[in-house]
């Protein structure tokens, strides 16, 4: 039987290579332009992998937590990041990976979930994740679902990977990955367990149902310009729906506009 996604990602080779580090460095440098991070922030990085994006901002924050289903990735994250104050890694059980509210983490003000949701089974799981995030969120908490396969076109997506490689000087490393055994295993897993793609309208409907404002970020945050990123206000501050930090990115949908009007934003 073919591995499911959590089993695939728990293999050591899945997270190997300097590409991950390069991609996370790129993400960390870009995300700061979208989400201000400061000494009062508590970060939760869901699907943190080796913890690159968790660890980089950790010294500037009150607390940083990484969570992942892969024990292999967590072991590597803990080894690499030993000694960084305020940084903790947690295991998410593969059969309960949406239960982030059971982690020993509270008053979360920023949530990263980068290149992870595509390994969920359906959009209903995204809704459950948002609902559970509300239970541990501080007022004003922002959740970034990044690298989404939204309005997905597989040809554009591959083009995005290769263009990203050219832009970051990792083109040949990416090309090598495409022809490596690791990629063939990825393909086999993907044939048996399709990745989750979604339409904008589907995520908008989920956020409307959960009563959380959403905006899409158009700029490239993860090295693939054709992926989409969604910034969700998990717990708007009382009487003040936070204005998007870059309001020009995405015109409000009807749902967003209605929500902003309702909340005085």
Ligand X SMILES: C[S@@+](CC[C@H](N)C(=O)[O-])C[C@H]1O[C@@H](n2cnc3c(N)ncnc32)[C@H](O)[C@@H]1O
**Interacting residue ranges for ligand X, rule: CB under 6 A:** 5-6, 9, 20, 24, 46-49, 52-53, 68-70, 73, 92, 97, 114-116, 119-120
The answer to whether the beta carbons of residues 156 and 226 sit under 8 Å apart is yes
Name which of 97 and 226 has its Cβ closer to ligand X. Answer: 97
Least distance between ligand X and beta carbon 195 (Å): 10
Burial class of 92 by CB neighbour count within 10 A (0 to 12, 13 to 18, 19+): buried
What is the CA angle 132-64-98, rounded to 5?
25
Least distance between ligand X and beta carbon 52 (Å): 6
Rounded distance, CA 264 to CA 260, Å?
6
Least distance between ligand X and beta carbon 58 (Å): 15
The helix/strand/coil state of 73 is: helix
Contacting residues for 133 by C-beta, under 8 A, at least 6 apart? 100, 101, 108, 111, 141, 143, 234
Name which of 119 and 259 has its Cβ closer to ligand X. Answer: 119
Name which of 55 and 259 has its Cβ closer to ligand X. Answer: 55
Least distance between ligand X and beta carbon 263 (Å): 30
Name which of 147 and 210 has its Cβ closer to ligand X. Answer: 147
Name which of 22 and 212 has its Cβ closer to ligand X. Answer: 22
Rounded distance, CA 12 to CA 83, Å?
23
The answer to whether the beta carbons of residues 195 and 119 sit under 8 Å apart is yes
For 115-205, strand residue ranges (E) read 137-148
Least distance between ligand X and beta carbon 48 (Å): 6
Least distance between ligand X and beta carbon 116 (Å): 4
Name which of 191 and 238 has its Cβ closer to ligand X. Answer: 191
- State both tokens at 260: 């902003």
């Amino acid at each position: 039987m073919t591995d499911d996604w959590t089993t695939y990602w728990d293999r050591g080779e899945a997270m190997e290579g300097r590409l991950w580090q390069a991609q996370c460095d790129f993400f960390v440098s870009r995300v700061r332009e979208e989400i201000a991070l400061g000494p009062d922030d508590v970060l939760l990085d869901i699907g943190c992998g080796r913890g690159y994006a968790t660890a980089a901002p950790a010294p500037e924050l009150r607390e940083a937590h990484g969570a992942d289903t892969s024990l292999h990735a967590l072991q590597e994250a803990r080894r690499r990041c030993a000694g960084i104050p305020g940084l903790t890694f947690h295991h998410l059980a593969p059969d309960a990976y949406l239960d982030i509210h059971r982690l020993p983490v509270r008053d979360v003000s920023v949530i990263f979930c980068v290149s992870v949701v595509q390994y969920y089974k359906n959009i209903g799981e995204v809704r459950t994740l948002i609902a559970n995030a509300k239970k541990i969120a501080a007022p004003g908490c922002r959740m970034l679902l990044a690298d989404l396969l939204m309005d997905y076109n597989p040809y554009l997506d591959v083009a995005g990977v290769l263009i990203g490689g050219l832009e970051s000087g990792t083109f040949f490393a990416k090309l090598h990955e495409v022809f490596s055994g690791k990629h063939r295993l990825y393909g086999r897993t993907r044939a048996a367990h399709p990745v989750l793609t979604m339409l904008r309208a589907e995520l908008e409907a989920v956020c409307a149902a959960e009563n959380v404002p959403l905006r899409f970020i158009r700029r490239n945050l993860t090295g693939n310009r054709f992926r989409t990123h969604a910034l969700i206000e998990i717990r708007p501050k009382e009487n003040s729906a936070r204005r998007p930090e870059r309001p020009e990115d995405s015109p409000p949908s009807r749902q967003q506009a209605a929500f902003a009007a309702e909340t005085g934003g």
